[in-house]
Amino acid sequence: MAIPITSFRKRSFLNPASTDQTSYIHAVVESTRGGEYPWGTNMLTIADCRRRIELEFFLGTRSARRISLAKFDLLIKVLTRFRAALAKEIASIEKVK
């Protein structure tokens, strides 16, 4: 049985199709082939209109693996707090209207 080239691949548009906006998120984790190949490309791309950010999560060394996971954990933490603040401000606007 062949080992898959990627262990995770997901691309999603962030806005409804009706908006014709090209915002998207694209995540790819390359397979390590059972742990034998730690040098793959692991990228998270977030795009909004004409702006794009690509974050790489290198797994080739023990230190890089620790740093990559910590980087992603911090990203999730900040995004979760950002979402809470955004929801709070939306609620404030809705109360006024």
pLDDT in tens, 69-90: 999 999 999 999 999 999 999 9
DSSP letter for 15, please. S
Structure tokens at 72: 């992603």
| pLDDT surpasses 80 at 4 | no
**pLDDT at residue 1 is higher than 70:** no
pTM of the model as a whole? 0.85
List CB contacts of 37: < 8 A, sequence separation 6 or more: 31
Q: Where are the domains of the chain?
A: 6-96
- Segment 18-46 shows an average pLDDT of 94
**Who has greater pLDDT, 22 or 61?**
61
What per-residue confidence (pLDDT) applies to 3? 64
Alpha-carbon distance of 10 to 28, in angstroms, equals 7
DSSP secondary structure code for residue 61 in this structure: S
**Interatomic CA distance for residues 79 and 53, integer angstroms:** 15
